[in-house]
Amino acid sequence: MTVTTQNSPWTAKAIVITTALLLIQFTAAYVIGSGHLLTNGGGMPLPPIAVMAVMPVVGFLAAYNLIPTFRAFVLAQDIRTLTMLQLWRVVGFVFLPLYAFGVLPGLFAWPAGVGDVVVGLLAFFVVSKIDRDPDFVTSPGLIGFHLLGLTDFVIAIGTSALAAGAFPNLIPGGVTSAALDVWPLNIFPSFIVPAFMIAQLSVLLKIREARRIASEHVSTALHTA
């Protein structure tokens, strides 16, 4: 019997580069949040801090499409590990007590907090399913889970925008989502959200590539039969 081993994509160089990028993003989040550099006075429908959530994701997708070595690195990642990271989404529960203490508006806190907890708990069952059935890694069920996770983030960003103050009728208590613009809560839109989104996009890109390869193999087999 021949045993094959797959080299880990996490070489020393990859670890250094990834760590450096994470430190840069974290530092940027701290500087921007503590310096109140992207605060919203309430007149803008889209909080400027949302840019910090979107930019890393756009950069990731651009690098994936333009840099072959980076694309290969992403496609070499382990789907189970990337999915297991979503277990940490349960930390979004913190939005609910922050709402209870009047720090965040319910318009944002309820969908964001409950949504994160649901995704985090579902991740446990999804990872268990992967362990029991290896074929699940390319199934519609896994795709649906990660699409749900991304949808939760879209809803969170949308409700934080609606609760920013531009539409006062939506926040009868007067509490806006301004706390998410400054440190320490800006760590969520500036660092945590894009990291989780990139992890989920990586899974979806890897599934798409696996399905493409499988389809090519089937096509080749049919032509050579």
Q: In this predicted model, what pLDDT tens digit does every residue of 73-125 receive, in sequence order? A: 999 999 999 999 999 999 999 999 999 999 999 999 999 999 999 999 999 99
Q: Which residue range forms the structural domain that includes residue 127?
A: 12-215
For residue 225, the model assigns a pLDDT of 59
Evaluate whether residue 60 is within a structural domain.
yes
Q: Which of 19, 6, 50, 32 lies closest to 177 in space, CA to CA?
A: 50
Q: Please name the residue that has the structure tokens 């701290």.
A: 30
Evaluate whether residue 7 is within a structural domain.
no
For residue 47, the model assigns a pLDDT of 73
How many other C-beta atoms lie within 10 A of the C-beta of residue 139? 14
**Contact predicate 61/51, CB 8 Å:** no
For residue 4, the model assigns a pLDDT of 38
For the chain, 225 residues long, the average pLDDT of each consecutive 10-residue run is 60 95 95 91 71 92 97 96 97 97 96 98 97 93 97 94 88 90 95 97 96 74 58
For residue 223, the model assigns a pLDDT of 57
The amino acid at 156? A
pTM as predicted: 0.91
Evaluate whether residue 110 is within a structural domain.
yes
How many other C-beta atoms lie within 10 A of the C-beta of residue 182? 17
- List Cα–Cα distances, 24 to 18, 31, 189, 210, in angstroms: 10, 10, 15, 32
Evaluate whether residue 221 is within a structural domain.
no
Q: How many domains does the chain have?
A: 1
For residue 3, the model assigns a pLDDT of 36
For residue 215, the model assigns a pLDDT of 78
